[in-house]
Amino acid sequence: MPDSPEPASAERNPATAAKNSSQFVGFQIAGQKYAIPIDQIQEIVIPDQVTLTPQVAACVEGVTNLRGQIIPVVNLRLLLDLETIARDDETRMIVVNVSDRRIGLVVDSVSQVIRIPFENIQPSLDTMTVEGNHDVAGFAKLDDVLFILLDMNEMLQPQRLTRPGSAPVSSV
């Protein structure tokens, strides 16, 4: 009796891989690789003109007109307490949907859409939180690259995007 063929592995079978993994958009800030679940991303664009707005948190650059909709623009470097740099040809704005809000996130560069197997994802450690903030949802290793998985619902809470004594930032 001839040997029966071996079943296709998850790596070779796209349907199995999709069931056993999640898709993310990978990007970089200050040389570190981060990722956001693709289902929270509306689009990725080259940042356009930003109108400065008063009485917002330092990480909020202002607002921009994205095809007729005014959305807030958040510099993710500043939100993560990193030094700001000048924009260049690699700078991108990731437009995310969080609850009923649409927000643009300025990042150094966007690298790729990645599929990460569930077994490569580890939840964030309790020691990774500051003052009750849980910005880091977890970590994922893909090949030899470690991605920090960000929790957009936590990071972009309205009270985090306000200056003390000002109104929360919301998209119109």
Do the beta carbons of residue 147 and residue 44 sit within 8 Å?
Answer: no
Q: Is the pLDDT at 26 greater than 80, yes or no? A: yes
**pTM to 2 decimal places:** 0.81
Q: What single letter denotes the amino acid at residue 87?
A: R
Per DSSP, 108 falls in state S
Instruction: Please report the DSSP string for 32-62 in residue order.
Output: EEEEEEGGGEEEEE-----B--SSB-TTEEE
Q: Across-strand partners of 15?
A: none
37: phi then psi, degrees, rounded to nearest 5: -55, 135
Q: Is the pLDDT at 27 greater than 60, yes or no? A: yes
For the chain, what is the mean pLDDT? 85
For residue 102, how many other CB atoms are within 10 A of its CB?
Answer: 19
What is the arithmetic mean of pLDDT over 90-94?
98
- Structural domains in the chain, CATH included, are 14-161 (2.40.50.180)
- CA–CA separation, 64 and 135 (whole Å): 24
Q: Across-strand partners of 3?
A: none
Q: Is the pLDDT at 158 greater than 90, yes or no? A: no
Q: Which of 24, 33, 27, 41 is nearest to 118 (CA)?
A: 24
**pLDDT, tens digit, 9 for 90 and up, residues 125-141:** 765 555 555 789 999 99
- CA–CA separation, 52 and 104 (whole Å): 14
What is the arithmetic mean of pLDDT over 156-170?
65
